[in-house]
Amino acid sequence: MIILGLNAWHGDASACLMREGRLVAAAEEERFRRIKHWAGFPSQAIAWCLAEAGLTLADIDLQPIGFDPTGAILVAGPAASGRTTAVRWLAESFHRWAGDSYLVHLSSRRSPLSHLDLWTSSTTGPEAAKEVIDKLRPYAELSAEESPSRLAIVIEGYPEFVSSMVEGPLSELVKLCRRNGHLLIAEGESTAWASPWPLVMEVRNARTGLLL
């Protein structure tokens, strides 16, 4: 059995590979990021361990991993990379952990996730999102400890809201979620995250996410 072990979402993020109970490769993410005690998902450490062992993810018996349900989490990847599945996994994991939470889904386009039963509300397009964002702001202004229920916002096609009527309000909402310990999951195609727009950078600068 080949196991990929991860230490993620907090300080000293790292990865290691075990083959039949023997350590094959191990590395801390700070080695590649050049930031001491780097926190987040150790994507570069994973890539190094796989290369060192001459393996790919297809060879690995993947293991479950927990995550800290606060702040902004970016989900990025090319078309058909499994972004929708990853977003659904994160949302369902949060829902299982905090069943009485206020779990909101915003999408810039039609999505197969829109009809999931776990959402408190789900909207499509900037106009509908604007109304929901205005309602969410009072919750986001409270710290997670002060809020009457946990708040999590899942946004599909997040970079596509750039230059829309909700760009400003959405950027402020992201800042509040990061500052006050709420969860915001933002999904988009890899190339879109290279944009220098403030809305995109607000999530990207959180330095936490899944790269598929």
Q: How far apart are CA 74 and CA 191, in angstroms?
A: 13
Confidence of residue 161 (pLDDT cuts 50, 70, 90): very high
Edge-to-edge strands of the sheet including 183-189? 121-124, 102-107, 151-156, 183-189, 71-77, 209-211
Q: What is the percent of the chain with per-residue pLDDT over 90, rounded to a whole number?
A: 72
Q: 200-207: long-range contacts (C-beta < 8 A, 24 or more apart)?
A: 200/158, 200/159, 200/162, 202/72, 202/171, 202/174, 202/175, 202/178, 203/72, 203/74, 203/158, 203/174, 204/74, 206/71, 206/72, 206/73, 206/74, 206/178, 207/38, 207/39, 207/40
| pTM for this model (two decimals) | 0.74
Q: pLDDT digit string (tens) for 167-211?
A: 999 999 999 999 999 999 999 999 999 989 999 999 999 988 888
Question: With 90 as the cut, is the pLDDT of residue 150 above it?
Answer: no
Confidence of residue 63 (pLDDT cuts 50, 70, 90): low
Q: How far apart are CA 210 and CA 83, in angstroms?
A: 9
